[in-house]
Amino acid sequence: MKKGLTILLLIILIMFFSIFALITKFQHEDLKTIQKAKQVDSFIVTFCMENKIIPSLLALKEHFPDLNWKTGWFFYTNERDWMRLQYPMRWWNKEAIGTRRISEFTATVYAYAVDYHCKDGP
């Protein structure tokens, strides 16, 4: 009986540390995505301040060719004064910019969204 309880506790400890390690790994991998989101944010804000208009999807694709719906990045825009950036995350992260949400296209993917409005600047 004591041996069975010891094995059960060992299994529970292994599961706990495995889950903890997986969450830590996801958060570390998400830091790269967060850095890219901050670069995109800077580009959008700078473009808006200089041109008084939201950057076009073409301009974003030229600057960030690896960001597309296949990699979980979505851009919604009227290409004048409004844009929403949605980017993928594996886990909650306090360093992320934007609002946490479930992805509008891939409901199983955790995502963050940032809204931009540009009439006379951001």
Is residue 69 within 8 Å of residue 10, measured between CB atoms? Answer: no
In a domain, 122, yes or no: no
In a domain, 99, yes or no: yes
In a domain, 87, yes or no: yes
In a domain, 8, yes or no: no
**Per-residue pLDDT reduced to its tens digit, 72-115:** 888 889 988 999 998 988 777 788 888 888 766 665 567 889 99
In a domain, 95, yes or no: yes
In a domain, 98, yes or no: yes
Structural domain harbouring 44: 31-117
Tokens 């299994």 -> residue: 11
**Per-residue pLDDT reduced to its tens digit, 51-61:** 999 999 999 99
In a domain, 35, yes or no: yes
Alpha-carbon gap, residue 53 to 6, rounded angstroms: 65
Over range 24-31, report the average pLDDT: 80
Number of Cβ atoms within 10 Å of the Cβ of 83: 22
Is residue 104 within 8 Å of residue 86, measured between CB atoms? Answer: yes
In a domain, 18, yes or no: no
Domain count, the chain: 1
